[in-house]
């Protein structure tokens, strides 16, 4: 089934309210039907999560971000990032679930792997492989697929997830997503097609490598990454398989 919905996608916010305000104004002007948030709303970090004061401040920042987003009055869904508490209770958490948003189905996979850095929400790859199929039009994942232009650090290392890539590579007819959106690796914002799936890393509003940018999913056949600092757009439309 095709869709005429316009879905906005916002990257790792990391409590950057001013940058978020610019992004939300663009979302309002484009009259998006729904908003997807890829996680990392603030920064629980390695040490902060282990103190009562740090945990309270983290939740205060997260609540402020969600209040800002919800002011638009547009339906919102999200997954927690690796910096977030995995059990965030603000409405719209679809981690490990499939829900409808603006007439399309969205599956959520929060956190990041592999589980080696000690952030609040990390997982072993096999935990993601063990999840249900989560068949949906859009896969909302904090972590990008591995070995692509979306998971490369500034040092050139690929640090995404094989398990996420395996889901993205599934043909649509076999339950694979039409579109996958993610964040996590701030410096690898971009758009690529993997198999039949349009994939977009919407980057981050917060450090490191902050950039005021926002993504849009137009129907199921086009994704756009808009850089609000230089006005440039990266646009990708689905390429059909070559006839044989």
- CA 156 – CA 150 distance, rounded (Å): 11
What confidence score (pLDDT) does residue 223 get?
Answer: 98
- Which of 179, 227, 172 is closest to 203 using CA atoms? 227
> What span, in angstroms and rounded, lies between the C-alpha atoms of 74 and 30?
12
Q: Virtual CA dihedral for 78, 84, 88, 93, nearest 10 degrees?
A: 10
pLDDT of residue 54: 67
Give the confidence band of 244 by pLDDT, cuts at 50, 70, 90.
Answer: very low
| pLDDT score recorded for residue 7 | 98
Question: pTM of the full predicted structure?
Answer: 0.94
96: nearest Cα among 113, 79, 77:
79
Any idea which of 21-25, 45-49, 193-197, 209-213 has the lowest mean pLDDT?
45-49
Per-residue pLDDT at 2 = 66
Tell me the three state secondary structure of residue 197. Answer: strand
Alpha-helix runs per DSSP H in the chain:
17-30, 52-70, 125-129, 162-168
| Structural contact between residues 131 and 175, judged by C-beta atoms closer than 8 angstroms | no
pLDDT tens string 169-182: 999 999 999 999 99
pLDDT digits (tens, 9 = 90+) for 41-92: 998 765 555 555 567 889 999 999 999 999 999 999 999 999 998 889 999 9
In terms of CATH architecture, what is 6-237? Answer: 4-Layer Sandwich (3.60)
Question: What local confidence, expressed as pLDDT, does residue 239 receive?
Answer: 86
pLDDT digits (tens, 9 = 90+) for 146-172: 999 999 999 999 999 999 999 999 999
Q: What percent of the chain has pLDDT over 90?
A: 83
Taking residues 26-47, report their average pLDDT. Answer: 91
85 versus 15: which is more confidently predicted? 15
């Amino acid at each position: 089934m095709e869709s005429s919905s316009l879905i906005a996608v916002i990257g790792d916010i990391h409590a950057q309210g001013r940058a978020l305000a610019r992004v939300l104004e663009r979302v309002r002007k484009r009259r998006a039907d729904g908003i997807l948030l890829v996680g990392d709303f603030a920064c629980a970090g390695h040490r902060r999560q282990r103190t009562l004061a740090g945990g309270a401040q983290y939740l205060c920042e997260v609540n402020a971000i969600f209040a800002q987003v919800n002011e638009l009055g547009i339906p919102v869904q999200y997954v927690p990032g690796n910096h977030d508490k995995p059990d965030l209770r603000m409405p719209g958490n679809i981690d490990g679930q499939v829900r409808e948003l603006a007439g399309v189905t969205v599956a959520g996979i929060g956190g990041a792997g592999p589980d080696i850095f000690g952030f609040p929400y990390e997982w072993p790859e096999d935990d993601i492989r063990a999840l249900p199929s989560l068949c949906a039009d859009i896969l909302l994942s904090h972590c990008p697929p591995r070995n692509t232009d979306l998971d490369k650090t500034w040092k050139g290392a690929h640090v995404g997830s094989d398990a996420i890539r395996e889901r993205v590579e599934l043909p649509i007819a076999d339950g694979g997503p039409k579109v996958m959106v993610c964040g996590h690796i701030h410096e690898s914002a971009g758009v690529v097609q993997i198999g039949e799936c349009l994939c977009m890393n919407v980057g981050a509003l917060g450090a490191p490598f902050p950039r005021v940018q926002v993504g849009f999913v137009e129907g199921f056949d086009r994704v756009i990454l808009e850089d609000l600092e230089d006005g440039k757009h990266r646009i990708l439309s689905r390429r059909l398989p070559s006839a044989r």
